Amino acid sequence: MAKSDSIIVLWEVIECVWNASFKVKILKWAIEWIDILCNISWKMRMYYIKILLWDLVKVEISPYSLDKWRISTRFRWWNDNKLKEDPDLKEFLEEK
pLDDT score of 30? 54
Q: Taking the alpha carbons of 1, 62, 56, 22 in that order, is the dihedral positive or negative?
A: negative
* Average pLDDT over every residue of 42-69: 86
SS3 55: coil
Q: Is the pLDDT of residue 73 over 90?
A: no
Categorise residue 87: left if φ over 0, alpha if ψ from -120 to 50, beta otherwise.
Answer: alpha
The reported pTM is: 0.72
Task: Enumerate the domain spans of the chain.
Answer: 3-94
pLDDT score of 47? 93
Which option is the CATH number for 3-94: 3.10.20.30, 3.40.50.300, 2.40.50.140, 2.60.120.200?
2.40.50.140
The DSSP output letter for 61 is E
Angle at 9 between CA 4 and CA 12, to 5 degrees: 145
pLDDT score of 40? 92
